[in-house]
Structure 1
Amino acid sequence: MPARQYGLWYDAWRRLRQNKIAIAGAVIVLALILAALLAPVLAPHNPLSGNIIDRLQAPSAAHWFGTDSQGRDVLSRIIYGSRISIQVGVISVGIALLIGTLIGAAGGYYGGWVDNVLMRVVDIMLAFPSILLAIAITAMLGPELKNAMIAIGVVNIPFYARIVRSTVLSVKETEYVEAARAIGGNDLRIIFRHVLPNCMAPVIVQTTMGIGTAILDAAGLSFLGLGAQPPTPEWGAMLSDGRSVMQQAPWMMFYPGLAIMLVVLGFNLLGDGLRDALDPRLKQ
């Protein structure tokens, strides 16, 4: 009896389920999503209001993660900060993914002078250190979370453009794309109907890992005062608030830093698992 044949996506899902490290990353990501969705239920206190009398209290039964310099509950602020982290990750990566995919698809499919012009623009962007370019863009637009998300999205465009371009270069030479051309399909239809859907595996991996990187970059900008502004409960801004009282109240930096580390780790582990699961060379 012949062995049962599975589709690419089912086969990838089967391999992903067998990867315990990837599952651990997925659990962390799921916990972040649940914390964001259930923040009003999970947070024991209002994240924006506090009592100055309770300022800098050590972790206790009343405040599990202690309080900050304004008497606000650190745990509640971390829980609500998960909402901002998801917002930053989705919007900034969405910007990079949309523009980068269009640039990479156009350059890879048309080639010639179109590819040369687009890739030289990408090379110029890659010549700048990512964090410095993000700082420059945020400084020009103004120090707020919305502008930080735009800056992070812009500096990540080249990575998606290169990934999509390299995949399109191989996919456009396949027989089904040639057949689509032969029956009179126009370029836009071929690109969006036949080429891009078959370029999604590496893009999905990069997107997953890119969300973690975007959260980390946003925390860095907020730490420098260029992202979320007080009293927004953003993890990087919370780290910045704790600098001046680091020795007196170390929990103000420890718990937000731990939250950033766990979330970025979760997305990286999940991204690594997706990369292994979607790699056709691992298919047995």
Structure 2
Amino acid sequence: MSGSTTLEIKRNRLQPRNGKRESKGLWGDVFKRLIRSKSALTGLILVAVFLLVALCAPLIAPYDPITDSDLVKRLEAPSSEHIMGRDSQGRDIFSRIIYGARISVQIGVISVSFSLVLGVALGAIAGFYGKWLDGLIMRLMDILLAFPSVLLAIAITAVLGPELRNAMIAIGVVYTPHFARIVRSTVLSVKTTEYIEAARAIGCSDLRIILRHVLPNCMAPIIVQTTLSIGTAILDAAALSFLGLGAQPPTPEWGAMLSDGRSYIQRAPHVMIFPGMAIMFVVLGFNLLGDGLRDALDPRLKR
């Protein structure tokens, strides 16, 4: 066999069939479609910067957000020493916003994780077993959905007490029905498929079928809903803190900072502008990322 023939055979082996590039897997295709979208890439960058700031807060913040205060220089305008100015207690606003990112991460992760676990469990049970159990769980979810989310969170926090931990519990309860309904609808469409019947035929338990065969098919909508919920959870927590039902002073939480600065909106508008911008950009980032993930995970967009 000549050298040119051998080289041609090797080239044919390396080239994909039908002239198409081989797939890099589901998540590789998802990431490739995600970064192609400018809005999704913008959201990914905003979320990445937000998480980086939260993790490196002690390294980035120039001052302590609670103890470093100077009442003589309270409400001082932005300057080279304090790029975002001082608040009503003479504390550095830039440092408080950076540490507030940590609190927002805590709020988003804990409250959404609570609603994720509870909602997935209730939705899977309702969709898989059906009948009266399905009706009972879904009617309870409908009752929770009948109330405006912020109003329901205010009511739960008022009962439990004005505290950041109780605010996270309230937000977790508010978002539980969203996860439950998404999982239930997916389970109803999956549980009648042939591979579920095959798993039943070989003697798999209901728990194994739900965990190994049913829930993996719910991952795409769950991931999208989780991403969107983190942004709205941060926004709702800021609203509760603004009303005095969430984080309490002197905790550097963005909603509490807005509440503290509302009395000085005309005299020192920077006290409210910078925390408000932080909330806006974080929620915008999670919303853009969630929309991008929804498009990237949609199998109808895969070519």
Shared topology, TM-score over 0.5?
yes
The separation in 2 between residues aligned to 1:70 and 1:226, in whole angstroms, is: 21
> Normalised by the size of structure 1, how large is the TM-score?
0.98
Listed as ranges, the gaps of 5+ residues in structure 2 are: 1-16
Matched ranges for 1:28-67 at <5 A: 28-49=46-67, 50-67=69-86
Higher mean C-alpha displacement, 173-182 vs 187-196: 173-182
Residue in 2 aligned with 1:272? Answer: 291
CA deviation vs aligned residue, 1:88-114 (integer Å, no higher than 9, x gap):
000000011000000100011111111
Deviation for aligned residue 1:8: 2.5
Residue identity opposite 1:39 in structure 2 = A
Deviation for aligned residue 1:230: 0.2
CA contact (8 A) 2:23 2:29 kept: no
Q: 2:30 aligns with which of 12, 27, 32?
A: 12
The separation in 1 between residues aligned to 2:100 and 2:119, in whole angstroms, is: 28
CA deviation vs aligned residue, 1:123-178 (integer Å, no higher than 9, x gap):
11111111111001000110010000000000110000000001111111222212
CA deviation vs aligned residue, 1:152-205 (integer Å, no higher than 9, x gap):
000110000000001111111222212111111010000011100111000000
Structure 1 residue 21 corresponds to structure 2 residue 39: yes
The separation in 1 between residues aligned to 2:188 and 2:213, in whole angstroms, is: 13
CA contact (8 A) 2:187 2:214 kept: yes
Structure 1 residue 99 corresponds to structure 2 residue 118: yes
The separation in 2 between residues aligned to 1:141 and 1:242, in whole angstroms, is: 26
Q: 2:251 aligns with which of 200, 225, 232?
A: 232
Matched ranges for 1:174-193 at <5 A: 174-193=193-212
Residue identity opposite 2:79 in structure 1 = S
User: % of aligned pairs identical?
Assistant: 68
The separation in 1 between residues aligned to 2:77 and 2:188, in whole angstroms, is: 57
Residue identity opposite 1:258 in structure 2 = M
> Normalised by the size of structure 2, how large is the TM-score?
0.92
Structure 1 residue 151 corresponds to structure 2 residue 144: no
Residue identity opposite 2:118 in structure 1 = I
Residue identity opposite 1:120 in structure 2 = R
Residue identity opposite 1:64 in structure 2 = I
**If you compute each CA radius of gyration, which structure gives the higher value, 1 or 2?**
2
Q: 1:263 aligns with which of 267, 282, 292?
A: 282
The separation in 1 between residues aligned to 2:150 and 2:263, in whole angstroms, is: 24
Higher mean C-alpha displacement, 124-133 vs 218-227: 124-133
- Which 4+ stretches in 1 moved above 2 angstroms? 1-10
